Amino acid sequence: MTDNALAFLHVDSEAARLIAGADWSASLGPVETWPVSLKSAVGLLIRSPVPIVLLWGEDGVMLYNDAYSVFAGGRHPELLGSKVREGWPEVADFNDNVMRVGLAGGTLAYEDQELALNRSGRLEPAWMNLDYSPVLGDDGTPQGVIAIVVETTARVLAERSMAQGEARLRFLDGLNRATLASRDADDILAATTELTAKHMGASVCAYADMDPDQNGFTIRGDWAAPGSTSIVGRYSLADFGALAVTELGAGRPLIVNDVLADLPAAEAATFQAIGVRATICMPLIKDGRLTALMAVHRNDVHVWTDAELALIREVTERSWSNIERVRADSALNDSESRYRALFEAIDEGFCIIEFFDGPHGPLSDYVHVEANAAYTEEAGIANVVGKTLRNIVGAEADAWIARYRPVLMTGQSIRFEQELEATGRWLELAAFRIEPASRKQVAVIFKDLTERRVAENALRESEAQFRTLARALPNQVWTAGADGLLDWFNEETYVYSGAEAGALDGEDWTSIVHPDDLPIAAVRWARSIETAETYQTEFRLRRADGVWRWHLTRAVPLQDEFGQVVRWVGTNTDIDDQRAIAEALGDVNAVLEQRVSERTEELVRTQDALRQAQKMEAVGQLTGGIAHDFNNLLAGISGSLELIEKRLGEGRTAGLERYIDGAQGAARRAAALTQRLLAFSRRQTLDPRPTDVNRLIAGMEDLIRRSVGPVVEMEVVGAGGLWATRVDPSQLENALLNLCINARDAMAPEGGRLTIETANKWLDEREARSRDLPPGQYVSLCVTDTGSGMPPEVIERAFDPFFTTKPLGQGTGLGLSMIYGFVRQSGGQVRIYSEVGLGTTMCLYLPRFHGEAEEATDDVLPVVPPGHGETVLVIDDEDIVRGLIVELLTDQGYRVVEAADGVSGLRMLESIGRIDLLVTDVGLPGGMNGRQVADAARTMRPGLKVLFVTGYAENAAVGNGHLEPGMQVITKPFQTAAIVNKVRDMIDGR
C-alpha cells in the first residue's frame, strides 16, 4: 500500500526524492494521504524535462521538477513546498493574479514576460514564457494551477544588445557627421552633448574645463532635456566629494547610480542641488593633468551598464580629438592672420629674400619674395617683390650679398648698419635665416637711421662745445652715459679730488664720496637713470688733502628727439660753508626752543607757587584768628590759677594741687599750640639774629641723635665757609628738630639714614622765581631721609596746619606749618623734594646775612649770674605779670622801678637818673601803647634799651619782628628763665 501510494515519485529525480523525504504534515498532509489528482499531477510534472511548477491549494503550495529547480536558482530547495506568495515575494502580485484566475478555472499565457527576480542575492531582470492551466481535484473542481516556465532571458538580452549596438553605431555615426563638418569647438561640444543626452536618456549632458589648480572647473556648455535646467557655471570639484576628487584626479570616471544611496549626505546635496541623482563623469587627462570633464547626468536612480560607460568614454575621447583638431586649425589661422597684420603694421621695413645661383656664381643674387609697406618707406625703393637685388641696386649688390649669404650659410643672425647707397639712407638691419635652410630664404628687418645719424652728429658737436664750456666753469662738472656710468670729469673735479686723469670713470668716482653718504646717492642715481628725472643729492667729497666737504650734486638728462636719454650732465657744488651756517642756525633754534620751553615750565611753576602762597596766606589769617581765641582761653586758665592761689592763701588747701597741676599743664599745652599757630601765621614775634647755621646744628646734634634713636644713622654735612643768616635761632632749632622727627617717623620702624646738610646757594632769577623768593644769596639747610616719601597729594597739603597722616594722638599736623610760617617770616622758603618709596629732602632757604654770626646762646638755659644794681623800668598794667617780673629781676640783683601805664612810666623816666633797660608791655591802657612809650623814652634817652613783652595782638605795634637795634621782644607767656636771660643779655649789651 505504502509502496503503491508513493509510486508516482518513483523516478530518478532530485525533486522526487525531496518531495518524498519532506515533512508535509503542516501543509498538504503526509504524501500517502494526498488526493489522487494531486499525486497524478506531481507524477506527471516530475517526469517532464520542461520546467513545470504546480501551485496546489488556495495557498499555491509549490511542487516542481528538476528543470524548474534550475530556473529557481539560489531559491531552491527552500522554495519547494513553500506557498507561492512567500516563495516569490518579489512577484507576489503577479502570482496572486495567477492563483485567482487558475482556481477559477481560467488559463494564462505570457511571452517574454519580464520579471525582476532575486535568484542570486540581488534583483535581476529575467524574461520568460509562462503558461498557466488549472488542475482539477478529485471532485472535479480546480484545486491548483500548473505552470510551464521557459526562461528566455539569454535570447532577449542577445536581441537587445544587438539592437543597442545598432543604436550605438547609428548614434556615433550621427555624432560624427554632426561634428566633423564643424570648425568651431563650441559647436562640436553643443552637438555632442545634445546627441549624447538624447541617446542615453540623460537629463543633462555637460562638458567642463578644469582650472590649473585641479579643483575649480567651469561648465562651459551643456544640453538639458525638457524639464531639466542648465548647469552652466563655476564649481569646485571638492564640493562633489572625496570620491569625485580621487577618481577623476586619477583619470578614472566617477560613476554614481544613486547619489543618495552611494554618497555621504553633504556630497549628495551638491549633486541634488543641480538636479543630479545618477551620473557618469568622464575625465580627460592631458600631460598627466586633469584638464576637462564630460558628464552625463540623470535625475533618476540609474544602474549604469558597462555599455553605457564604454559609450561615454568613446564619446568623450572623440569629441576632444575633434575639438583639438578644430582648435589647432583656428590657432593656425589666427597666427597666420596675426602674422600678416603684424607684418603690415610694423614701422620697420621687412622683406624675405630668396637666394639663387646667378651669373655671378652660386647664391650670388636674391629675389624679394615678400616685402611690407614700410619697406618702401624705410628703404626709399618701391615694389621690390619679384625683383632681384642686382636688378635694383646692381652697383652695391656684392656688399649686400656679403652680408646676407653668411646668414644663409651658417644660420647665424646678424645685426648691422649700412648705407643703402642707391637712396642715400643709413639703415640699421637685422637678418635671420628662415628654416629649413633648404628654402634658401633670409628674412630682413630694417630701419632708416638717417635722421638719427644727423642728430647724433649734431649732438657730438654740441657736446664738444659743452666740454669747452665745462672746462671753464669753477664748478665740478661731469657727464655720464645713459647707462649711468660716469665717463668724463672736468679739470676742476680732478684738481679738487687730486685723482689721476681717468681714475674717476665708471663707478670709480664713488671712491671720493663719503661712505656714509654713498648708499643714498647710489639709490637716487639709480632712480634717476630709470626715470630720467633730474638727479639731486648731497654728499661729502674728499678733497685732495683728505678733508671731506659737503657738495650739492645735480644732474640733468640730455634727451634725443624721441625723449630717449642720451647723456647726463652733472655738477658738484661745494656747500660745506652753507651747511655749517645752517647747522649753527639749527643749534640756535634748538637753544631758543629749549629756552622757550623752560620759560613756559617756569611760568607754570611760578603760577603754582603763587597759588600755594595765596592758599597759605588764607590759612595763615585763619590760624591767626584761632590763636587770638586761644590767648583768651589762656587768660581764663591763668585767671583760675590765680584764684586757686588766692584760696590757698586763705588756707583752703585740701585737694587743690590736682587742679593746679591740671590747669598749669593745660596752660602749657595751650601756650605751645598758640606758639605754633602764631609761627605758621607768621605773626609770631621773632628774635632774629645773625646765625651760623653750622654751629647751630652742631649744638643740636646730641639732642637730635637722642630724638631719632639708634636705628637712624645720622650724618651732618656742613658746608665750609657757610654764610651767616639772620634768623631767630631758637625757632630754627625748633624747625630742625621738627624736620628730624618727621624724618624719623617716615623711616620708622626700620630706621634708615638721616642727612643734615647745609650749603651756600646763589639763586638766579629763574631759580629764585621757582622758589618764590627774590634772587640772591641764601643759606640752605636740608634734611634728607630714606623713608617712605610723600605722594604728590601729601606734598601739596603737608604745610597745611593740622594736616597729618599720622594716627590720632601721634601727629598734630603743626610741625611743617610752623616751619613754613617761620621760614617765610624770616624771608626764606621751604621746599619738599620727595619720591614715594625713596625718601624725602626738606630744604630751608634762608637769606644770607652780610656780617658775622653771633655766638649761639646755650641751649640749656643757664643759671643766671645776678645783676649789679642796674636799673630796670617795668611798665605793665597787669599787676600779676608786673609783680612777677619785678620779683624775678629784683631777685637777680637789679634795681627795679615799676609803672602800671605808659604815661606814669614816662614820668618816671623823666625823674629817675639812670635807667639801663625799659621792660614794657605793648598793650597798655591810657592812650599809649608800649611802642609809643618806647619811642617817647628814646627821644628823652636816645639808645635806651627796650624789651617788649607781647602777646600776638601787639606784634604789629612793635614792628612785626623788625625792631630797631637795642630793642628786643619776649612773648607772653614766658618762662621765667627766658626773661631773666633776656634782660641780662640786653643789659650786658648783647
Residues that bind ligand ADP (CB under 6 A): 738, 742-743, 746, 785, 787-788, 790, 794, 798, 803-806, 811-813, 815-817, 840
Find the shortest distance in angstroms from Cβ 657 to ligand ADP. Answer: 32
Number of shown-chain residues binding Mg ion (CB under 5 A): 2
**Which residue minimizes CB distance to Mg ion?**
815
Residue 815 interacts with Mg ion (CB under 5 A): yes or no: yes
Of the pair 4, 810, the CB lying nearest Mg ion is at: 810
Whole-number Å distance between alpha carbons of 183 and 836 = 94
User: Which of the listed partners (Mg ion, ligand ADP, none) does 787 bind, with a CB threshold of 5 to 8 Å by partner kind?
Assistant: ligand ADP
Are 250 and 288 contacting, i.e. CB atoms less than 8 angstroms apart? no
Stretch touching Mg ion by CB under 5 A, among 273-281, 531-539, 809-817, 866-874? 809-817
Cα angle for residues 78, 79, 83 (degrees, 5° grid): 120
Find the shortest distance in angstroms from Cβ 755 to ligand ADP. Answer: 12
Q: What is the DSSP letter of 891?
A: H
Q: Which 715-744 residues touch Mg ion, going by CB under 5 A? A: 742
**Which residue minimizes CB distance to ligand ADP?**
815
Find the shortest distance in angstroms from Cβ 741 to Mg ion. Answer: 6
Find the shortest distance in angstroms from Cβ 856 to ligand ADP. Answer: 24
Of the pair 205, 739, the CB lying nearest ligand ADP is at: 739
Are 235 and 216 contacting, i.e. CB atoms less than 8 angstroms apart? yes
User: Across 801-885, where does the E strand assignment appear?
Assistant: 829-835, 839-849, 871-875
The Cβ of residue 96 has, within 10 Å, a number of other Cβ atoms equal to 13
Find the shortest distance in angstroms from Cβ 956 to ligand ADP. Answer: 26
Of the pair 253, 815, the CB lying nearest Mg ion is at: 815
User: Which of the listed partners (Mg ion, ligand ADP, none) does 57 bind, with a CB threshold of 5 to 8 Å by partner kind?
Assistant: none
Whole-number Å distance between alpha carbons of 313 and 307 = 10
Find the shortest distance in angstroms from Cβ 620 to Mg ion. Answer: 18
Whole-number Å distance between alpha carbons of 804 and 790 = 12
Tell me the Cα Rg of the chain.
67
Of the pair 293, 842, the CB lying nearest ligand ADP is at: 842
Of the pair 752, 815, the CB lying nearest Mg ion is at: 815
Find the shortest distance in angstroms from Cβ 606 to ligand ADP. Answer: 24
Q: Which 740-779 residues touch Mg ion, going by CB under 5 A? A: 742
Instruction: Give the pairing of strands 233-236 and 216-224.
Output: antiparallel
Find the shortest distance in angstroms from Cβ 836 to Mg ion. Answer: 18
Find the shortest distance in angstroms from Cβ 802 to Mg ion. Answer: 12
Whole-number Å distance between alpha carbons of 15 and 9 = 9
Angular region, 118: left φ>0, alpha ψ -120 to 50, beta rest: beta
Q: Which of 52, 54, 70 is nearest to 62 (CA)?
A: 54
Q: Which of 18, 135, 112 is nearest to 65 (CA)?
A: 18
Of the pair 746, 986, the CB lying nearest ligand ADP is at: 746
Find the shortest distance in angstroms from Cβ 789 to ligand ADP. Answer: 6
User: Which of the listed partners (Mg ion, ligand ADP, none) does 61 bind, with a CB threshold of 5 to 8 Å by partner kind?
Assistant: none
User: Which of the listed partners (ligand ADP, Mg ion, none) does 319 bind, with a CB threshold of 5 to 8 Å by partner kind?
Assistant: none
Surface-to-core class of residue 864, CB atoms within 10 Å of its CB (0-12 exposed, 13-18 middle, 19+ buried): middle
Whole-number Å distance between alpha carbons of 111 and 447 = 90
User: Which of the listed partners (Mg ion, ligand ADP, none) does 959 bind, with a CB threshold of 5 to 8 Å by partner kind?
Assistant: none
Query: Crossing angle for the helix pair 930-940 and 902-911, nearest 10 degrees?
Result: 20
Instruction: Give the pairing of strands 967-971 and 946-950.
Output: parallel
Find the shortest distance in angstroms from Cβ 742 to ligand ADP. Answer: 3
User: Which of the listed partners (Mg ion, ligand ADP, none) does 681 bind, with a CB threshold of 5 to 8 Å by partner kind?
Assistant: none
Of the pair 212, 809, the CB lying nearest ligand ADP is at: 809
Find the shortest distance in angstroms from Cβ 605 to ligand ADP. Answer: 21
Cα–chain center distance at 727? 63
Surface-to-core class of residue 878, CB atoms within 10 Å of its CB (0-12 exposed, 13-18 middle, 19+ buried): middle
Of the pair 165, 791, the CB lying nearest ligand ADP is at: 791
375 Cβ partners below 8 Å, 6+ apart? 349, 350, 351, 381, 384
Of the pair 117, 679, the CB lying nearest ligand ADP is at: 679
User: Which of the listed partners (Mg ion, ligand ADP, none) does 35 bind, with a CB threshold of 5 to 8 Å by partner kind?
Assistant: none
Of the pair 659, 803, the CB lying nearest ligand ADP is at: 803
Whole-number Å distance between alpha carbons of 458 and 525 = 27
Of the pair 316, 734, the CB lying nearest Mg ion is at: 734
Stretch touching Mg ion by CB under 5 A, among 227-235, 626-634, 815-823, 914-922? 815-823
Of the pair 572, 841, the CB lying nearest ligand ADP is at: 841
Q: Which of 676, 725, 723, 734 is nearest to 700 (CA)?
A: 734
Residue 817 interacts with Mg ion (CB under 5 A): yes or no: no
The Cβ of residue 819 has, within 10 Å, a number of other Cβ atoms equal to 26
Of the pair 557, 815, the CB lying nearest ligand ADP is at: 815
User: Which of the listed partners (Mg ion, ligand ADP, none) does 790 bind, with a CB threshold of 5 to 8 Å by partner kind?
Assistant: ligand ADP
Residue 787 interacts with Mg ion (CB under 5 A): yes or no: no
User: Which of the listed partners (ligand ADP, Mg ion, none) does 794 bind, with a CB threshold of 5 to 8 Å by partner kind?
Assistant: ligand ADP
User: Which of the listed partners (Mg ion, ligand ADP, none) does 785 bind, with a CB threshold of 5 to 8 Å by partner kind?
Assistant: ligand ADP
φ, ψ of residue 473 in degrees (nearest 5): -75, 145
User: Which of the listed partners (Mg ion, ligand ADP, none) does 805 bind, with a CB threshold of 5 to 8 Å by partner kind?
Assistant: ligand ADP
User: Which of the listed partners (Mg ion, ligand ADP, none) does 599 bind, with a CB threshold of 5 to 8 Å by partner kind?
Assistant: none
Q: Which of 514, 520, 480 is nearest to 497 (CA)?
A: 514
The torsion defined by the Cα of 375, 379, 383 and 386, in degrees rounded to 10, comes to: -90
Of the pair 590, 711, the CB lying nearest ligand ADP is at: 711
Find the shortest distance in angstroms from Cβ 685 to ligand ADP. Answer: 22
Whole-number Å distance between alpha carbons of 51 and 45 = 8
The Cβ of residue 8 has, within 10 Å, a number of other Cβ atoms equal to 22
Of the pair 819, 967, the CB lying nearest ligand ADP is at: 819
Whole-number Å distance between alpha carbons of 948 and 958 = 8
Cα–chain center distance at 429? 59
Find the shortest distance in angstroms from Cβ 883 to ligand ADP. Answer: 38
Find the shortest distance in angstroms from Cβ 802 to ligand ADP. Answer: 8
Sites of contact with Mg ion (CB under 5 A): 742, 815
